[in-house]
């Protein structure tokens, strides 16, 4: 069974701090890694994707991938209260279906 | 910015009834998907669809489920005889290219409530 694991949280950080969200996956053949943000009652919104080992930056967001450790993370710099949401890690493993983790709930307090 | 749309936003039905959930994928996308999310649980893959046929389906996608692209724009999910446990948010997603490295964009979802 291919699994994607995330700490459910909540992860609480003060406004302006860096939020660090982590995800591990079980299938070594996984090729593509995605971070989605989901507000309560809403659909997943794609915020980052990464395919190669290393870091990928987009504005306040940085995705980090380490395939040897089967680990992917998302850093959010200068966190804002509007970043408060559930962050879903999703992985493709040899097919185009996405396998999602349970998500980490992030709370940014003023 | 193009987006995936879904109708209805909320569907209430009685157990045993048939429901059809509708999606309009992004216009130049070729690969289409249905996912569901039971309240408080993870998003789960149901089915993928390309070139007018199912590419892959999960164990959840049993004989009660079917998908169709009846015209050039709509993509539907039919549940023939709904059960209480079908109550969930159903999300449609699409991508331009179904190879592993292309990102999927989700619609706003249909909340299905089976009573």
Token pair of A28 as six digits: 């070594």
Please tell me if residue B56 touches chain A, with a CB cutoff of 8 Å: yes
First to last CA, chain A: 40
Per-chain mean pLDDT for chain A: 95
Chain A CA closest to residue B37: A43
Substitution target in A3, A25, A43 with the highest count of B β-carbons within 10 Å is: A43
pLDDT for A74 equals: 98
Across residues B46-74, what is the average pLDDT?
Answer: 93
User: Cα distance from B15 to chain A (closest Cα, Å)?
Assistant: 23
Assign A110 a pLDDT band (cuts: 50, 70, 90): very high
- Are B40 and B48 in contact, with CB atoms under 8 Å apart? no
Assign B28 a pLDDT band (cuts: 50, 70, 90): confident
* Strands (E) located in chain B: 5-7, 10-13, 19-24, 31-37, 43-50, 53-57, 65-68, 75-79, 88-95, 105-106, 110-114
Please tell me if residue B85 touches chain A, with a CB cutoff of 8 Å: no
pLDDT for B15 equals: 97
């Amino acid at each position: 069974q291919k699994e994607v694991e995330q700490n459910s949280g909540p992860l609480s950080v003060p406004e302006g701090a860096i939020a660090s969200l982590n995800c591990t996956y079980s299938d070594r053949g996984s090729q593509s890694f995605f971070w989605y943000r989901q507000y309560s009652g809403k659909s997943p919104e794609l915020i980052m994707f990464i395919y190669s080992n290393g870091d990928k930056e987009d504005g306040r967001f940085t995705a980090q991938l380490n395939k040897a450790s089967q680990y992917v993370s998302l850093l959010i710099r200068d966190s804002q209260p509007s970043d408060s949401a559930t962050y879903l890690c999703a992985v493709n493993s040899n097919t185009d279906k996405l396998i999602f983790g349970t998500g980490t709930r992030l709370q940014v307090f003023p | 910015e193009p987006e995936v749309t879904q109708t209805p936003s909320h569907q209430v039905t009685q157990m045993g009834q048939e429901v059809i959930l509708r999606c309009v994928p992004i216009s130049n996308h070729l690969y289409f998907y249905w996912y569901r999310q039971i309240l408080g649980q993870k998003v789960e893959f149901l089915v993928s669809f390309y070139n007018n046929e199912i590419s892959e389906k999960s164990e959840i996608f049993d004989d009660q489920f079917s998908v169709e692209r009846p015209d050039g724009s709509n993509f539907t999910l039919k549940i023939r005889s709904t059960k209480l446990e079908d109550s969930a948010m159903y999300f449609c997603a699409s991508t331009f290219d179904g190879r592993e490295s292309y990102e999927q964009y989700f619609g706003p979802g249909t909340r299905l409530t089976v009573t």
